[in-house]
Each structure stands twice: as structure tokens, then as C-alpha cells.
């Protein structure tokens, strides 16, 4: 584990973080991407990826509650500068799959 990842992990083990995470789950209850209930192992996602802001929990708007897969997808997409184009391609592919599988509404 890198020095930065170790520091982040230590912060996530503090009572401050755990209390904040618990309060966010109580307020939000659902995955920000799917709208489904949060599952065991859900993540409180830092929208601000600046490492120097990692421990700043003063603004709840900088965080989102995400289930594991949603969290992975968000990080996967965000690493691409053309994420908007990728989302359009995904939509086209899913529409094709709907038609082929008789799920068109």
C-alpha cells in the first residue's frame, strides 16, 4: 500500500469518519447512481479527488453514497477524459441489447 493510500486508510478507521459515514447513510439511504438501497460494503465516495482535501468532511455535497459496483464504475469512467462519449456508446449498446432481448418499453 502506498503512503497516500495508507494515510487514507488510517483516516477511514477514525471515529470521525465512521460517524460521518453513518450519518450520510441515514440521510441518503440509496445508491446515488441506481437509486437502490445501500448494501453491505457500500462506499462513501469522495467526489473531490484532491488528496489534500481527503479528510475535509465539512461539505456533505462533496460525497455520495454508492454501492460497490457503482463506485467502481464511477472511478472507471472518470479516468477517461471522454467519459461523456463513453456513456453515449454504452447507451447505444444497451438499447441494442434491449431490442435483441425483447426488453424495449
Instruction: Using a pLDDT cut of 90, give the percent of the chain over it.
Output: 95
Assign 3-class secondary structure to the chain: CCHHHHHHHHHHCCHHHHHHHHHHHHHHCECCCCCCECCCCCEEEECCCCHHHCCCCCCHHHEEEECHHHHHHHHHHHCCCCHHHHHHHHHHHHHHHHHHCCCCC
CA 53 to chain centre: 17
pLDDT tens profile 53-87: 999 999 999 999 999 999 999 999 999 999 999 99
Kindly state the cell numbers that stand for 76: 472507471
pTM here? 0.90
In the predicted model, what is the mean pLDDT of the chain?
96
The pLDDT value recorded for residue 1 is: 76
The pLDDT value recorded for residue 75 is: 98
| pLDDT for residue 103 is more than 90 | no
Give the residue, 37 or 1, on which the prediction is more confident.
37
Amino acid at each position: 500500500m502506498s503512503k497516500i493510500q495508507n494515510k487514507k486508510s488510517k483516516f477511514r478507521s477514525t471515529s470521525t469518519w465512521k460517524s460521518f459515514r453513518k450519518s450520510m447513510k441515514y440521510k441518503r439511504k440509496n445508491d446515488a447512481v441506481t437509486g437502490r438501497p445501500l448494501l453491505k460494503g457500500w462506499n462513501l465516495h469522495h467526489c473531490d479527488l484532491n488528496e489534500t482535501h481527503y479528510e475535509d468532511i465539512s461539505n456533505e455535497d462533496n460525497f455520495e453514497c454508492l454501492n460497490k459496483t457503482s463506485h467502481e464504475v464511477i472511478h472507471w469512467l472518470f479516468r477517461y477524459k471522454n467519459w461523456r462519449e463513453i456513456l453515449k456508446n454504452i447507451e447505444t449498446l444497451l438499447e441494442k441489447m434491449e431490442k435483441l432481448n425483447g426488453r424495449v418499453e
